[in-house]
Amino acid sequence: MTLRPGEAPGPAIAVFPFLKTREAVRLGNFNFRSTDDTEGLSEEDSTRVREIAEMLFLQDDLHIRASSYAMLPPLDLDSNDQCLRELQQVQSIVAYCYSAPRQTFGDIFFHFEQASLAVFSPEPVSIFLVRPEHGVEPLDNNSPLVPDEWHRVLGYQGRYNFHHPFWLAKGSRLYPPVPHIGLNISQDLAWDLRRCFTEPSRHHLLPELLRQPTTATGERILTAITWYNRANALSNDEASSILDLAVGFETLLALPNDAKTNRFIDAVSLLLGRASRLDIWAEQFYDVRSEVAHEGKTLRFRFMPTPKNKSSGSTLYQSLLTYGRQIFQLCVATLLFGDYQARNAGLPDILVTNQERFESICKILDDERLPITDRFEAVDATLALVSEFRYVQETGLSVATMIGALQRSAKKLLLCDRSLELPFERLIEDLANAKASADCYEGLAALHALNELKTVPTEDRSPRNLTLRLAEVVWHYTFMHYFWLKEQRAREANDKETP
């Protein structure tokens, strides 16, 4: 970065240079609209959008009339910013939708480069990066740029497809990442994605991947889609595309390191059924992938639907890569639907024990990276599940873990809420400071005293009420154990007093 101390970049702007839209479209946390639509923006942001739009060229001196853009917060493009990670996911989904293979010929609608994304960060840039002097010859009369004392001019630092840096100033031109890209006349980002997401087809669950936080399956699918998109790059030859697509399949299907060919055939067949010749394609595809990976080349790019015949030879049909794209998208759709069904049925929740949930609450409340109020917010959903499943029989549930979670909550409550009424505050202090013992009796006694106050939590999710909810659940689990311990201690004390 070329920023000096005290300087900060302005709001960044993301642009799909080669994709236009007639109306705004919401993708994850970003609102994309046409570069000729600056309604509602500040004068400074409107000027930047128009300035960036004037920099976008298709080839030669052919300026792109309209593109799609989204406003972003100020960014450090050299960091692993959450906003940039979410934006990468958006680009992956857009490129994936536009690469759907046609049924008959299997060719794709758009290659990856046509869904290229450029991120512009308004900040001073070096004059030597936007107007190099050596080995070049200007052919037109660019407006003069006056650098400051650090040889900088007002401009933009950028990233093309999150990997390739660029620097621009007013009057600069940004061209496609490959020599030639066509613009489709009918393409419309909002209309195309609406149709893609709403039709009952293989793509209608894709928007789920842009919601945070994603599931483990969702993360794996997004990573696999990134490799699938690489396989559709114009810069790839067919051998490289097969390797990229194979990595996409391996990621998608979570294949082990050994016996990948057999596992690949089984996984694809399990997801899509025992379709005729699907296993033949899978075996041939993975054999070709292995040839390219281990020998650096292959001549077997086409599918052989029938075994070799000594008299007539082998029949060659469509490209293995063509079928691979179609099969990959079908596998993604199947996995997305399975993940949706599992989450809709609460399967990820019911397979977790309350002991594990209490351990998770302890871990979150101990997380010093988060502000205390954020830690309480983070345990809310887990606490709701603890309450929901408290009537399910469970062995291995530790009283020490439950009391530990409650004491952590009490200590954090005292740190973040100074408005607690006096009797309640004293009971919370007693709970937080209860002496540790092997049977947790002191902590249970403090919990019993708090329970006797009969303070009922309300619906709001304040740290106070979350602590009360946690106390209520822990008391449900431990009240019988507490009274048994109390009686046992009374008997032991009585025995000591009796000669």
Residues in the chain, total: 499
- Grouping H, G, I as helix, E, B as strand and the rest as coil, residue 121 is strand
Question: CA 288, CA 435: separation in Å to the nearest integer?
Answer: 67
**CA-only gyration radius of the chain, Å:** 31
Of 40, 18, 14, nearest to 27 by C-alpha is 14
Tell me the H-state helices in 366-398: 372-388
Strand ranges of the sheet holding 13-16, from the earlier edge strand across to the other edge: 25-27, 30-34, 68-71, 13-16, 118-126, 152-160, 164-169
What is the DSSP code (8-state) at residue 312?
A: T
Q: Tokens in use for 218?
A: 């969702």
Of 218, 248, 247, nearest to 86 by C-alpha is 218
pLDDT at 1: 57
Instruction: Indicate the helix (H) or strand (E) that contains 13.
Output: strand 13-16
Task: Give me the mean pLDDT over the 71-95 stretch.
Answer: 94
Task: Give me the mean pLDDT over the 203-223 stretch.
Answer: 87
Split at pLDDT 50, 70, 90, the class of 305 is confident
Residues 403-426: pLDDT tens digits?
999 999 999 999 999 899 988 999
Question: CA 390, CA 401: separation in Å to the nearest integer?
Answer: 15
Tell me the H-state helices in 55-184: 82-98, 127-130
pLDDT at 366: 96
pLDDT at 310: 47
Residues 219-268: pLDDT tens digits?
999 999 999 999 999 989 999 999 999 999 999 999 887 777 889 999 99
The model carries a pTM of 0.83
pLDDT at 32: 98
Q: Tokens in use for 425?
A: 């505050």
Split at pLDDT 50, 70, 90, the class of 200 is low
Residues 112-166: pLDDT tens digits?
999 999 999 999 999 999 999 899 888 776 778 899 999 999 999 999 999 999 9
Question: CA 274, CA 288: separation in Å to the nearest integer?
Answer: 22
Backbone angles phi, psi at 145, to 5 degrees: -110, 130
pLDDT at 256: 83
Percent of the chain with pLDDT over 70: 96
- The rounded mean pLDDT for the chain is 91
Q: Which residues pair with 123 in a beta bridge?
A: 155
Give residue 418's identity as a one-letter amino acid code.
R
Question: CA 294, CA 315: separation in Å to the nearest integer?
Answer: 26
